[in-house]
Structure 1
Amino acid sequence: MTVQYESFVEKYKTLLDKELAAAVNVLEAPKVLKESITYSLTAKGKRIRPILLFATIDAFNEKPELGMKTACALEMIHTYSLIHDDLPSMDDDDLRRGIPTNHKVFGEGFAILAGDGLLTYSFQLIAEDSNLTDKQKLWLIAQLAKSAGPEGMVAGQVADIQAENKALQLADLEYIHHHKTGKLLTFSVLAGALIGGASDEQLQSLERFSQHIGLAFQIRDDILDVIGDQNVIGKPIGSDDGKLKCTYPALLTLDGAKDHLHKQITEAKTILQQLNLNSGLLLYLTDLIAGRNN
């Protein structure tokens, strides 16, 4: 079955990449803006959020392609957040996914505008999706805005900045990552569930599942910042320590962070196994998040 799941991931990553390129290509926008957008959007990414969306639709035995436009919108918002996160006024990073960050290539002004363009274009893609009903579009646009905005990802980014050079409790750290990373991961799963035809009860269970894998994703990220391979993860090891950021290994020790990761993955899998879904692919992705190397 593992080979089947790997094939699913590669198939939909390829389809997504083609759809993203096509979506940018049709834009009647300045050449430099399209180049800046394309530079970051086509960089080698894990595409974990779109893949979770596709896998959730598949769990309801519906065609994953029904979520293609929403998956593109999701990846565009994620990419915008990375472009802005790397800016000198934010994390001031020189590398992202093994290549120079957007502002290092195109300058801060065009990097900011590329992020702005990706953010706003994402909602247009959903609004124009002929595969979705008007009710689905309204729900997806509202939930994506909430997940990415001042109650979601942006709130987490604010808390992350405010936490620098401060000693945090575990609850404070989890607030940051539940919002900064977790909210878009939760949207990925819930969007797939909505498109797949989930009941209210299934949506509630899948929301809890997604919250656990959201924390697991960030814990693994923090662990990799300590023990990862720079050539694999595409950025310098120990960069969080250099910026005086609070991380799970710093707060819990490396072994404690690994234990906390295991707890989140176990909880997530327990929730999935209690649902009457075709959830093998989601279980595979849960393990993939726990053991990823980049």
Structure 2
Amino acid sequence: MAQNSSNRIPFPIMDFSLDRFSRRLSGVAVEVETVLGLLLANDVRPGEIARPPRLAAAMRHATLGGGKRLRAFLLIETASMFGSTARDGALRAAAAVECLHAYSLVHDDLPAMDDDDVRRGRPTVHRAFDEATAILAGDALLTFAFDILSDAATHPDASVRIALVRELAIASGLGGMVGGQMLDLAAEGRFETERAALDEAQVRQIQAMKTGALIRASVMMGAEMGRVGGNARAALAIYAEKFGAAFQIADDILDLEASAETIGKATGKDDAKGKATLANTLGLDRAKMIRDRLAEEAIASLAGFGEEADTLREAAMFAAARQS
């Protein structure tokens, strides 16, 4: 198994090649990018009045041209794992998740939030366009995600579409991603005279909401499209929660150890702002141990599945071993 030169990734479970998995991830990303390009074209769709070209261009800037598409990958692979043959529908649902994820990044990058100038190696939307356009592009991407999911082209069964909408809405709103962002701002000391010192449990809660909830939703939306229930669904929920936690800790570690050129955005900013991360709270060595353990637990949660779950197992390894 391939190993990170600086971090031991102790997975004796299966033969894992980071390069091989990255190629598979990139292949799915190309498919998702194609669907997103079609959905975000300037052409007016039925029911719409007009698509302002500047707004559409800002939405494309935010959404196209980069990114691992890992959330999309998890949705598509989970649906496929359970025999869902409607790949076009899964790609559309994955595109909806990517639209929502892109909206969150556009708003996070704004001066009022994280004030970032670079995202995926390119100027952030408010730098490439302007702040007002960035806000509107984020708003439009958020609502467009649910437009895509509610369309019969995504799934012919209205009950499945409703379940997809609900899963994504819960994960991205008050009790999920947006709520987590609010807690993250509070942890920086935005609303108090002094910054609060958070313990490990509080940091984990913020990360479960801010990052983990959308990752969990991606897996569970794939399960919904594959009509999965019972113990299999419960196992996937555990997998998604462990995966999301490992992924976020890996991201925090990269912020401290990787270069801006490698990961396509400014590094060290979380540390400088005193953001709530396990790497800051517990130290790098302890954070790496927890990252690896969570990835192993994610893999262990799939013990009841056969070889059809190998891609999800490899995704968990990738979450811990990735370099960008």
Query: Of 241, 254, 271, which aligns to 2:301?
Result: 271
Is 1:92 the counterpart of 2:115? The answer is yes
* Partner SS state of residue 68, structure 1: helix
Q: Residue 118 of structure 1 is aligned with which of 132, 138, 141?
A: 141
Q: Is the helix fraction higher in 1 or 2?
A: 1
What does 1:158-177 correspond to in 2, within 5 Å?
A: 158-164=182-188, 165-177=195-207
| Partner residue of 1:221 out of 241, 246, 251 | 251
Q: Residue 70 of structure 1 corresponds to which residue in structure 2?
A: 93
Deviates more, 1:189-198 or 1:273-282: 273-282
Alignment equivalent of 1:31, drawn from 38, 53, 60: 53
2:285 alignment partner in structure 1: 255
User: Aligned partners of 2:62, 2:154: CA distance in 1, in Å?
Assistant: 27
TM-score, length of structure 2 as denominator length: 0.87
Distance in 1 between the 2:251 and 2:145 partners? Answer: 26
Q: Hey, what's the Cα distance between the residues in 1 that align with 2:130 and 2:161?
A: 35
Going from structure 1 to structure 2, the CA distance change for 1:243 and 1:38 (only over 3 Å counts) comes to same
SS in 1 for 2:323: coil
Match in the other structure for 1:243: 273
Say whether the 8 Å CA contact 2:243–2:294 is kept in structure 1.
yes
Amino acid of the residue matched to residue 117 of structure 1? A
Cα displacement (A) at 1:62: 2.6
- 2:177 paired residue number: 153
Q: Which residue of 1 aligns with 2:6?
A: none
Matched, 1:135 2:159: yes
2:39 paired with 1:17: no
* Contact residue 54 and residue 65 of structure 1 kept, 8 A: no
Query: How big is the shift at 1:14?
Result: 1.1
Contact 1:189 1:210 in 2 (8 A): yes
Q: Distance in 2 between matches of 1:152 and 1:277?
A: 32
Q: Does 2:64 correspond to 1:42?
A: yes
1:184 to 204, 211, 214: 214
Alignment partners' CA distance in 2, 1:130 and 1:39: 25
Contact in 2 for aligned 1:69/1:129 (Cα 8 Å) = no
**Contact in 1 for aligned 2:180/2:206 (Cα 8 Å):** yes
- How far off is 1:66 after superposition? 3.2
Instruction: Name the SS of the counterpart of 1:150 in structure 2.
Output: coil
Write the distance in 2 (CA, Å) between the matches of 1:130 and 1:222.
38
Identity across matched positions, percent: 35
Letter in 2 for 1:59: M
What is the distance in 2 between the residues matched to 1:76 and 1:17?
11
Q: CA deviation at 1:129?
A: 3.2
SS in 2 for 1:290: helix
CA distance in 1 between counterparts of 2:74 and 2:184 reads 25
Give 1:5 deviation, angstroms: 5.0
Paired position in structure 1 for 2:9? none
How far apart, in 2, do the equivalents of 1:139 and 1:191 lie? Answer: 8
Amino acid at match of 2:101: H
Superposition deviation, residue 131 in structure 1:
4.7
Partners of 1:114 and 1:7 in 2: how far apart? 30
Aligned to 2:320: 290
Query: Secondary structure in 2 aligned to 1:278?
Result: helix
Paired positions, count: 294
RMSD: 1.6
AA in 1 matched with 2:305: L
Judged with a 3 Å threshold, the aligned counterparts in structure 2 of structure 1 residues 190 and 97 are, in CA distance, closer, same or farther, namely same
Q: Deviations over 1:157-185 (max 9, x none)?
A: 01000111321101110111100001110
Using the TM superposition, give the Cα deviation of residue 249 of structure 1 relative to its aligned residue in structure 2, in angstroms: 1.5
**Could you tell me how far apart the structure 1 residues matched to 2:39 and 2:262 are?**
29
| 1:118-172 CA distance string (max 9 Å, x none) | 0001111111133511010011111111111111111100100011132110111
